[in-house]
Structure 1
Amino acid sequence: MTNRQIKSLMCIAVVMAAGLGVAAPPAAAAGRRVHPGDSIQDAVNAARPGDIITVMPGTYYENVLITKRLTLRGFGASTVIRPPVTQAAPAAPAAPDAQAGAGAAAPGAPAAPARAATACSQADTGICVMGTPEQSVDEVKIRSLAVSGFKRNGIWASYTDRLSVERVISEKNGTWGIAQERSTRGVFRGNIARDNTESGIFIANTVAREGGATDTLGAVIRRNVLTGNRIGVTVRRVRNLSVTGNLLTGNCGGVFVVGDEGEPGAGAMTIRNNRIHENNKFCKGNSRLPDIQGVGIVLTGAEETVVRGNSIRGNVGASPLSGGILLFKSFVGATNTDNVIQDNVVRDNQPADLANQGTGTGNRFVGNRCGTSVPAGMC
């Protein structure tokens, strides 16, 4: 092909593109950098929806409130957000999150960003992502940073859609490591949540009241490392999510699925391919919940949940909740119904590898490799 022919074809292509209305590629998201000594919050306030804020290595002493679509990313463990040196007056402590009928104190359900800012500060939380009942905050991404030592939560989200938290370290916080309520399609992947007073990862319909489970529209908790917490993962009064490929060890309990008597029931979820080993830390009980120690997976008030292909070993304790996989009688009268416990390796858990308590119906234990069960005969 001659040069003249090539040029002619290029001209034709340009004319065709113009005729078909082919647009120029969209402009890349604007980037902002925050350095030690700068304010992350100032950068968030100045950002336009869709901006990427890169937080350089260093320690930042502040709370961060996000009320718009953006990406906040750091450099892993070398980018650390810690409580401000001058703390706001602490809020009343939250109730333990595993209580089947009781709600923990909420960091606030704001009707406007100003209320959200107040709630975030009073809650002593590292990063708050706050929408409103009228307008969710969509597609916020939090990446590759650490939040440590806050009086309540490392990361808290309310009224969000498609929130993504990945490769975050959330440690030594006074309630939850990473928590979300009233939200849909969240993705929590590749995080480390350790040594938090309550759950490492906590997903709920709402923490302020009881009520029927809400549909998360496919929330994902995947490939996280959860250790040293009261409970590794708690999913409370929600439906339609997956807990897959996580490592849970050294907590008081591994995974709690908690429902109540409301409709629709909690469940319709998958707990699959997790390693839940030696969660033998001791946590004292309270008026609504017994002591927690040696707990693998507990379902209480759950329905249509599939627990499959997990490795659950060496969870040992003397609590009524202790053991490998337990369908537990609910304190508020909710039953476990139509759950499938299948193809799990459940070994060396005490007092039993598998236990089915309460009056629920339609629960099936199929193909599990285990040594002991209550009642006998399920292994």
Structure 2
Amino acid sequence: AKRTADGKTHIVNPGESIMEAVKAATPGDTIQVMPGNYHETVYIDKDDIRIIGVIKEGKRATMDGQGKLNDAILYSGNNIVVQNMLITKYKGNAIMGQAGNNFEIRDNIIVDTGVYGIFPQLGKNGIVEGNVISGIEDAAIYVGMSDNIHVSRNEVFDSVAGIEIENSRHAIVENNYVHNNTGGILAFITPGLPIKTTFDVIIRDNFIVNNNTANFGAPGSTVAGIPAGTGILIMAADEVIVEDNIITGNKTAGIIITDHENAPNTTIDPEADSKPDKIMILNNLMMNNGYDTIDEAKALMLTEFKQGQPDILRVGTSRDSCIINRHRYVTVGVSDWAECSFTNTDAIDTYILDEPVPPREIKGSEKGKIAYLGICTGCHTYTGRMIGPPVQIIQALYMDNPRGLADYIANPVKKRDDYPEMPPQNYLDEETRLAVAEYMLSRTN
């Protein structure tokens, strides 16, 4: 993306505040953060800001939430860059985008930051590259309701989900090392969200290895239903191409394809197509998957008189899908798939756009909608359980009291042991909090 090149550089030293530097910055500025410890939350609501950690003799600028703070970096501005930071011990997110476009999140180390590591939500034209992320309760990299995304050269491990492409389109996930998670790479539709589709996703040239970590996701959440030992999971997404990956040592299966009807912890959204259609499995190297598979997979194998360790497992309905070299793998449920008419995606380099996406113009009447899409849907769906309770439950509690809901999200109090603590949204102004409360209470799906 093209960026302003004549901005100022702000230097932040240990004992100083990154947030104060953001407040002083104007579009086009760079904030250089010197090695040392910083205990704060940074919110970027301006366009064209870069936060760059300075590395000296292996020492990095370290944002340490000390197990007390919820979020490290939140951005709603466009053309944001976050690079070379070390982020650890937050309870919510390391880096979360809230409707910001043209983002670049590169070369960060993220350890134990709660629910999500890197989480661009409702963004267009973004790059997540060269990051090392571990110890995440939901997804190390979670691309939500976004378009034209490139996720490459990351290492993700010791998390429930390695990389998720959720309700998003035109995404490439390539050259990543995805290991020792519960599930490696996921492409799916979460029902109950305002954007109802996932399609045009390429998963290629990744190492997807030994994703056998016991599932420690929030009980009842979508990711809590992922069986340990899943290499790639495709749920209800369309036009997903799986190509030239090395997929080994995943004890349940190398690739699982399912519809919503057969997926655990999933509700049915009448406005979303629950079937994964036009899935294309091209050449992949698969070895030693399915060696300790789940009982449901064993039962499906019996229906086809199959023996061995399943590499590829299809459950439910999938229309117009294809596979090449099927004889190489132990497969279940793909006997009716066609032979793919092409063998590679070499002609597709990236879905990143040649020109930056223009800044989103938010009219006053749309403020609540954009806040809902960019923030609330990261944890809430309409009918299903995600990180937080379904929107329907919130409506039952606050339908005639939007002001009460607006006040609550600014200073939430943990009320239920079966849900994690909600991070306060007090960085939003009072008008926006009321607008998003009114919008949430008006939703019908």
Q: TM-score range by the shorter chain?
A: 0.7 to 0.9
The equivalent residue for 2:408 is none
Letter paired with 1:74: G
1:256-312 deviation line (CA, Å, top 9, x unaligned): 111156875312111110000001111157445535311100000011111111110
The answer to whether the aligner puts 1:194 opposite 2:137 as a matched pair is: no
The answer to whether the aligner puts 1:71 opposite 2:11 as a matched pair is: no
- SS of corresponding position for 1:42: helix
Contact 1:284 1:290 in 2 (8 A): no
Choose the corresponding residue for 1:239, options 161, 169, 186: 169
Deviation at 1:29, TM superposition (A): 2.3
Deviation at 1:161, TM superposition (A): 0.7
How many residues matched?
Answer: 297
The equivalent residue for 2:29 is 51
C-alpha distance in 1 between matches for 2:5 and 2:140: 38
- SS of corresponding position for 1:45: helix
C-alpha distance in 2 between matches for 1:53 and 1:261: 39
Choose the corresponding residue for 2:321, options 333, 343, 363: 363
Contact 2:63 2:88 in 1 (8 A): yes
- SS of corresponding position for 1:160: coil
C-alpha distance in 1 between matches for 2:236 and 2:226: 19
C-alpha distance in 1 between matches for 2:37 and 2:229: 36
The answer to whether the aligner puts 1:314 opposite 2:249 as a matched pair is: yes
The answer to whether the aligner puts 1:128 opposite 2:74 as a matched pair is: yes
> Compared with structure 1, are the counterparts of its residues 155 and 269 closer, same or farther at alpha carbon in structure 2 (3 Å cutoff)?
same
After TM superposition, list the pairs within 5 Å mapping 1:304-343 onto structure 2.
304-316=239-251, 322-330=252-260, 331-332=266-267, 334-343=274-283
1:4-36 deviation line (CA, Å, top 9, x unaligned): xxxxxxxxxxxxxxxxxxxxxx97321110100
The equivalent residue for 2:387 is none
Structure 1: which 5+ residue stretches go unaligned?
Answer: 1-25, 89-123, 131-136, 206-214, 317-321
C-alpha distance in 1 between matches for 2:314 and 2:66: 47
1:23-72 deviation line (CA, Å, top 9, x unaligned): xxx97321110100111111110011110110011111111111112110
C-alpha distance in 2 between matches for 1:126 and 1:298: 29
Deviation at 1:173, TM superposition (A): 1.1
1:70-118 deviation line (CA, Å, top 9, x unaligned): 1100135521001269x56xxxxxxxxxxxxxxxxxxxxxxxxxxxxxx
> Compared with structure 1, are the counterparts of its residues 27 and 196 closer, same or farther at alpha carbon in structure 2 (3 Å cutoff)?
closer
The equivalent residue for 2:124 is 184
C-alpha distance in 2 between matches for 1:281 and 1:247: 15
The equivalent residue for 2:198 is 266
Which segment is superposed worse, 255-264 or 43-52?
255-264
After TM superposition, list the pairs within 5 Å mapping 1:9-20 onto structure 2.
none
Letter paired with 1:339: I
C-alpha distance in 1 between matches for 2:153 and 2:53: 20
C-alpha distance in 2 between matches for 1:170 and 1:371: 35
Contact 2:73 2:95 in 1 (8 A): yes
After TM superposition, list the pairs within 5 Å mapping 1:16-27 onto structure 2.
none
Which segment is superposed worse, 256-265 or 142-151?
256-265
- SS of corresponding position for 2:23: helix
C-alpha distance in 2 between matches for 1:220 and 1:172: 24
The answer to whether the aligner puts 1:298 opposite 2:233 as a matched pair is: yes
Deviation at 1:346, TM superposition (A): 1.4
The answer to whether the aligner puts 1:256 opposite 2:212 as a matched pair is: no
The equivalent residue for 2:100 is 160
Contact 1:261 1:301 in 2 (8 A): no
The equivalent residue for 1:80 is 62
Structure 2: which 5+ residue stretches go unaligned?
Answer: 261-265, 269-273, 294-309, 340-445
- SS of corresponding position for 2:125: coil
Contact 2:246 2:284 in 1 (8 A): yes
The equivalent residue for 1:148 is 88
TM-score of the superposition, structure 1-length normalised?
A: 0.74
> Compared with structure 1, are the counterparts of its residues 42 and 306 closer, same or farther at alpha carbon in structure 2 (3 Å cutoff)?
same
Note the aligned Cα RMSD (angstroms).
2.2
Letter paired with 1:292: P
Higher strand share: 1
Letter paired with 1:315: N
Higher helix share: 2
The answer to whether the aligner puts 1:280 opposite 2:258 as a matched pair is: no
